[in-house]
Structure 1
Amino acid sequence: MARTQLYLVRHGEQDPASGHASDGGLSQLGREQADRLGRRLRTVPFSTIHHSPLARVAQTADIIAGHLPQVPRHDCDLVADRTPVPSAGQRGRYPGRWLDWLDGVPDEERDEDATALQAAVEHFGVTGDNDRHELLITHNFVIGWFVRHMLEAPVWRWIGLNQDNCAITIVQ
């Protein structure tokens, strides 16, 4: 049976001078993290590099892609920065201690009931006739959602899963 391996990578460290601005690029450390990661991944037979369109992620992908010159890459809205938030009818599935924080998630990051993230899992989590390795360069909460899904954990458990910058999480 063919296998699909998803390499989930969080972007490199963002330049602290940009705060959390969506157009903020990488710090010097973030560029070094991405370069080290690219060297580490250079022997993996990736099919494609999919990355969030935000600047810090695109810059991370640029650096990593320099070590994977034959691998096509593209901006991918499926791995854009999203925060799963429960709809009014689903709030009971989340511990009460998280609800105030979730209510404060900015509108542009909200993914009500993780509809978009679930679509990403369904899109990337398919198998075909051949083994496939996909590199997804994305954000902490997106990776947390994929891992929560793979572990069949409660819907809110993505909250406690935190990846360092340029860390690799591999799911199959």
Structure 2
Amino acid sequence: MATRRLYLARHGAADAFGELTDIGRRQAGLLGERLAGVPVDAVWHSPLPRAEASAHELARHLPENVLVTEAAELVDHVPYVPSAAETPPSWADFFDGYDDAEAASGQRLAEALVARFAKAPDTTGKGVQPDTHEVLVTHAYPIAWLVRHALDAPPSRWLGLNSANTALTVIEYRNGLPPTIVMFNDMSHLPPNLRWTGFPEGIRP
């Protein structure tokens, strides 16, 4: 049974203008070193500069023939604007100013993201197919949405599923089976001083 493995990573640390910093570049390189032992078929990245730069930085550690290309569905977006009843009090102010058009646009992007990536390989009439391994360099919210989808959780459950810069999340998809979350927000490829960037300030283990 062929398996589609998605290796999801938030971009490296970025500055206030959305450009990758030296720390972010180092984080992306270390993620590339970790993924060097994986038979990666493709590296997909968000259209935003911090994700594109991270993708190319990590791809330096992969074979030269690995495809590195943009996927519009990976752009940073709010995938679902919850109703007032679904919104935790601490998140209420975050959604101020989101009108119906913006909410609908984000939801369409979220649906397109799932339709393109969150599915098993198409093996219809193709005989035995190899597993596929795809790296998706994106942002915290799309990763949260894909994890929520894999768990078959309510749409509002993407809230609070945060990812650190270049932390690794792996999800497997097989026909006839629910998705498997292999790991979430794993930072073992980063030294302690490069972990937890992109998270709010606080005590971290």
TM-score normalised by structure 2 residue count: 0.72
Q: State the SS of the aligned residue for 1:114.
A: helix
Q: State the SS of the aligned residue for 2:14.
A: coil
Which of 13, 24, 38 in structure 2 is aligned with 1:44?
Answer: 38
1:4 matched to 2:35 = no
Spell out, residue by residue over 1:67-113, the C-alpha distance to the aligned partner (whole angstroms, 9 max, x if none).
11221011110101111243xxx625622523431234599985546
Q: 1:148 to 1:71 in 2, by over 3 A?
A: same
1:73 matched to 2:68 = yes
Which residue does 1:101 correspond to in 2? 94
Unaligned runs of 5+ in 2: 124-128, 173-205
State the 1:171 CA deviation.
0.6
Larger Cα Rg: Structure 1 or Structure 2? 2
- Could you say which structure has the greater relative contact order, defined with CA pairs below 8 angstroms and 6 or more residues apart? 1
Which residue does 2:116 correspond to in 1? 123
| Residue type at the aligned position of 1:76 | A
How many Å separate the matches in 2 of 1:157 and 1:133? 26
How many Å separate the matches in 2 of 1:118 and 1:10? 19
Tell me, yes or no, if the aligned pair for 2:73 and 2:113 is still in contact at 8 Å.
yes
State the 1:119 CA deviation.
1.6
Tell me, yes or no, if the aligned pair for 1:83 and 1:111 is still in contact at 8 Å.
no
Unaligned runs of 5+ in 1: none
TM-align CA RMSD = 2.3
Q: 1:111 to 1:52 in 2, by over 3 A?
A: farther
Which residue does 1:34 correspond to in 2? 28
